[in-house]
Amino acid sequence: MFKQKTIVLLLLFLQFICTGIAIYFWIQAYWFSSVFFLAITLFCLYRIHDILQQQVLSISQILQAMVKKDFSVKTPKRKLSQTIYKPLEALLQQHQSQQQEQESVRIIYQQIIDATDSGILILKKTKEVLFYSNPAFFELLEVPQYTKWHLAKKELKAFDKYLNIEAWRNQKDVLNLYINGKEEIFAFRTYTSTIYGTKYLIANLDPLQNIIDKKEKEAWFNLMKVMSHEILNTISPIHGLTQNLTHLVNEKQADLGQDYEDIHQSVITIRNRSQHLRDFVETYRHLAELPSPIPQNIYVSNLLEDSCAILSALIEEKNVALSIQCSPSKLQFDFDKKQMEQVLINLITNSIYALTEEATPKIEISAVLKPLYLEIQVKDNGCGIPEGIKKEVFVPFFTTRENGSGIGLSLSKNIVQAHGGTISFQSNEQGTSFYLRFPIRHP
């Protein structure tokens, strides 16, 4: 920087001297000498212009790079004067920091939207541009995820009356759609927003059953918290008193005479039942306070085989024919292995008890990787679930087994949903099939 400034000053000084000499020789009629010094003057002016032009070009390149957000360009320190270089370098760094911060915020928001189970589609009113969509939107409809609106629009004909520019407004509706031959009911909402003069349409798609399940689960959990709190507050003193009463009855055995046995047995019964109730409340808490899954990439075949191995004694005792299939055989997926084993154990156990009256009991477990999701199926050839209780299957503490707790399927449903999946079943007189479906999250 100092060198270029010095050169410019020297050139200006030389140009001034040469101009004076050229004028002097011109007056003295020394034409050749006058022309020679005039040429030196012009050369000095050219060099000054060239140096200044290089500085202007360097500044222009930096400004263009800032406009295009190309931060690979470096400020040319040697080509600029100190008074220009310092503020320009500070401006470039500030712009780069702001851009990096904005990009970080954008990535975080994008990851949050991508992680949600609700389908989100954002259109920009500039020749109908698909501004953004999260994977869940297209996964719910079981179609490929498109980035170009003219391609996506062909798959979204059912939404034409909501997504066409002329229809853009805030709307709520319930849609019955047929997806791969199966009827699905969705809650659909659209919102409009204008940002810096550009209009956007945000569309939100949710399976109606998911909304119902969420509200239902929240209601159950709130009820569980209240009930467990009240029950424990009531039972804990009773349980403590029965402990003391047991010791007191034993000490006064001689005084009680023939009544001792009846009193002692009554106290033991109260103590046992209060302990049972405390254990029952702990089961409540286990369901309401399910820890978040910690997924790891595991072989699905190992998950299925390990889950069945835990129940091998019961399977052998009940003489159940068990088959396991995994396609592809080396299929891997992100699961919390312990939690998913609990789900499979619950489903297999229920199937085993459903086969009690079956002459040739059989359970088939399969895992199949489909284009948009992984499906795990647990199928038995039992008598099926009675029509009258199908709606109660996932209700906490509902059970048809004499010693059942009634939380197995409810807990399984919570675990599956925590993994971003869904659980459903089909049942008739020929048997019951439970389906676990987990969407494939593409990077």
Region 222-243: what's the mean pLDDT? 67
Summary mean pLDDT of the chain: 79
Q: Which fold has domain 212-288?
A: Helix Hairpins (1.10.287)
Taking the C-alpha atoms of 340, 343, 344 and 349 in order, what is their torsion angle to the nearest 10 degrees?
A: 150
How confident is the model at residue 334, as a pLDDT? Answer: 93
The model's confidence at residue 1, banded by pLDDT at 50, 70 and 90, is: very low
- CA nearest 331: which of 295, 305, 302? 302
Taking the C-alpha atoms of 54, 55, 57 and 60 in order, what is their torsion angle to the nearest 10 degrees?
A: 170
Token pair of 98 as six digits: 């702001």
Query: Pick the residue with more confidence: 411 or 401?
Result: 411
> For residues 420 and 438, is the Cβ–Cβ distance under 8 A?
yes
Whether pLDDT at 114 is above 70: yes
The model's confidence at residue 389, banded by pLDDT at 50, 70 and 90, is: confident
Question: How much helix, strand and coil, in percent to the nearest 5, is found in the chain?
Answer: 60, 20, 20
Whether pLDDT at 388 is above 80: no
* Burial of 404 from C-beta contacts in 10 A (0-12 / 13-18 / 19+): middle
What are 432-435's contacts with CB under 8 Å, separation 24+?
A: 432/351, 432/354, 432/379, 432/380, 432/382, 432/384, 432/385, 433/377, 433/378, 433/379, 433/380, 434/347, 434/377, 434/378, 434/379, 435/375, 435/376, 435/377
Predicted confidence (pLDDT) per residue in 63-74, tens digit: 676 666 666 666
The length of the chain, given as a count of residues = 443
Q: Which CATH number fits domain 115-207: 1.10.8.620, 3.40.50.300, 3.30.450.20, 3.10.105.10?
A: 3.30.450.20
Q: What stretch of H or E contains 107?
A: helix 82-115
How confident is the model at residue 363, as a pLDDT? Answer: 93
What are 280-284's contacts with CB under 8 Å, separation 24+?
A: 281/227, 281/228, 281/231, 281/232, 281/235, 283/405, 283/407, 284/224, 284/227, 284/228
* Among 177-186, 194-203, 232-241, the least confident range: 232-241
Beta bridge partners of 124: 129, 200
- 296-439 has CATH 3.30.565.10 classification: yes
Euclidean distance between CA atoms 16 and 302, whole angstroms: 89
Query: Residues of the chain with pLDDT > 70: what percent?
Result: 76
Query: Pick the residue with more confidence: 178 or 120?
Result: 120
Name the pTM for this structure.
0.49
The model's confidence at residue 223, banded by pLDDT at 50, 70 and 90, is: low
DSSP 131-163: EEE-HHHHHHHTSPPPSSHHHHHHH-GGGHHHH
Question: What is the residue extent of each domain of the chain?
Answer: 2-104, 115-207, 212-288, 296-439
Helix axes 300-310, 337-354, angle to 10 degrees: 50
Whether pLDDT at 25 is above 90: no
- Sign of the CA dihedral 146, 149, 150, 156? positive
Whether pLDDT at 46 is above 60: yes
Highest mean pLDDT among 99-103, 270-274, 287-291, 334-338: 334-338
Q: What is the CA radius of gyration of the chain?
A: 39
Euclidean distance between CA atoms 319 and 323, whole angstroms: 13
Predicted confidence (pLDDT) per residue in 121-161, tens digit: 998 887 678 888 888 888 888 888 888 888 888 888 888 88
Whether pLDDT at 285 is above 50: yes
How confident is the model at residue 72, as a pLDDT? Answer: 61
Highest mean pLDDT among 9-23, 261-275, 359-373, 394-408: 359-373
Euclidean distance between CA atoms 23 and 21, whole angstroms: 5
Token pair of 83 as six digits: 């008074």
Region 354-375: what's the mean pLDDT? 88
- CA nearest 354: which of 322, 384, 312? 384
Q: What residues contact residue 105 under an 8 Å CB cut-off, 6+ apart?
A: none
The model's confidence at residue 112, banded by pLDDT at 50, 70 and 90, is: confident
Instruction: Say if strands 362-369 and 321-327 run parallel, antiparallel, or are unpaired.
Output: parallel
The model's confidence at residue 103, banded by pLDDT at 50, 70 and 90, is: confident
Same fold for the pair 115-207 and 212-288: no
Euclidean distance between CA atoms 424 and 435, whole angstroms: 5
Predicted confidence (pLDDT) per residue in 416-433, tens digit: 988 888 888 888 888 899
How confident is the model at residue 186, as a pLDDT? Answer: 84
Region 235-251: what's the mean pLDDT? 73
Taking the C-alpha atoms of 251, 253, 255 and 259 in order, what is their torsion angle to the nearest 10 degrees?
A: 140
Whether pLDDT at 287 is above 60: no
Helix (H, G, I), strand (E, B) or coil at 180: coil
